[in-house]
Structure 1
Amino acid sequence: MLVRKIPTWQTTRRALTVTAVAAFVTGGAFLSADTASAATTLAGTCSGSVNGSMGDTVAIQGSSVKELVRKGAQDYVNSHLWTVATVWPNSLADTIAGKGALNVGQVPNAAGGTIPGTAVGSTVAAALKGANGLGVLDGTKNEVLSAVSANVAKSCGLTTIATNYVAPGQPGAGGTGAQQGGGTATGPGGSTGNLSNLNPGTAGGSGGTAPMRDYGGIPTATAGTAVAPGVRYPANGTLPGDATAPQVGVGDQAGQGADVRDAGNAQSLSSPAGPNDVQLPMLLAVIVLAGVTAGLVRTWVLRRAS
């Protein structure tokens, strides 16, 4: 039986080829995974709102800030006329337009957020760093970049909206029953129980409770549940305080006016004069008689004493 001998150099080359192919495939898989997990949301302009998933990178096109860059550089030249030959606003505008997409921020892990204009301006200035037309001196270059950044910041600013955000306590939000406002809480060892059975402030954390994350389960008055006035007071009934309706109370209220009935069973202090009532002349006679009697008694006492 003949066995073909393969030279050592051929064996080594084949092994290296297989290793390189495997490394390429593995690296490609990792790169594909990174690309899929890190999405980029491209905004149409540098201002307004942009929708994306939480964690997405937000980018703008360099062409959307082209005129802002041109104006910022031109304003600098107008105030520093000696730089007219070294600072080129048109060249800087073309340079930023050719940069393509510029990453200016990220969609936060919340319902929404903001990317301020200063962040957009800083990104634009960083993309223009080292470009032709910024001037000759380093100080001039820095001043031109600052002027461009400030002009971009004045006109830009984005509001991010997370399209896949789910508020805590809503269906599909996940989490424990306590997080969804279900009235239960997870205790040590994964056990659950009613929050009313736990004592707040217990040492060791075995029985303490934290504030609820969602108060949606607390009963509240909602629109459409109030009782209509027509149900509480039927059409053939009477309202409280109606003067034409009979009033329930103590005592006889017959013959009294509505104002007296509403105030209660009131009676007047004076009554009509009768034939047996004492009149004023008789009262005066009694007072005079009492005075005369007192004078006589005093005279009699003085005479006996003398």
Structure 2
Amino acid sequence: MLVRKTPTWQRTRRTLTVTALAALVTGGTFLGTGTASAATTLAGECTGAVSGSMGDTVAVPGTAVKEVVRKAAQEQVGLFNFLTVWPDSLADTIADKGNLTVGQIPDSSGGTIGGDAIGTVVAKDLKGAKGLGVLPDTQNKVLAAIEKKLTSSCGLTTVATNYSAPSSSTPTSTAPDHGGYSTPDNSPLGSYQPGSTGTVPPRDYGSIPTATPGTAIAPGARYPNGGALPGSGAIPQTSTGPAGQDPQGQGPDIRNAGNAEALATHGGGSEVQLPMLLAVIVLAGVTAGLVRTWVLRRVS
């Protein structure tokens, strides 16, 4: 049986190729690990502002919430659970957790990570820890108290350092030149369009009545009905204001002063009414008495 021998230069080339591939894979793994580490932004406290690139993970060290956890657990210590609820132990446990991932920097100029998100993460990491109590009800109450305390005490504002506001361009519309006037829907000048608010100014104002040399125009054609002539000082008559008040401030009594009103009559205009007839008779009698007295005095 013949065994084919591989030349030495081929074996050397194969070995170098395998070594290069292994180095490439190993280097890629290290690069991936470095990128993941760089994408985590650590906040020094559980309050304040934190800056980073968009998409970065935001983490809070356990030591930043240690005292808040201790205080919240201490408030739950009572007469029946003081032997099983250990605030110091819970504070040390959360501090030993290291960095706690609480949120992410959004793809915008900034955002917020509320205290409720931080409290949820801490309560999840402390679940089942020593010092929460023996009974499940006690453990749930202590965890709820810690979460509530963190919600009211913590909160982060995130700022994206690599955010750039999008440029907004307003489109400009071009319209045909109409001598300085624009018309809706490219309509002819001076024409009315259904649905529009009115007519556009005309190009030619020659139709307006004006006084020309040698031509007399009636005032009614030059000025609107009811308007005042220039220089006359007359005030145009307008409708009365509210509550019967006229434009000059005169009340209804002053405005109607001097108006005569006819008395109502019952009958035709040619009939002699009884009061008038009695007045004539009385006047005649008085006149006759005066004449008789005057005649007697003259005779005597």
TM-score by length of 2: 0.49
Larger Rg: 2
TM-score by length of 1: 0.48
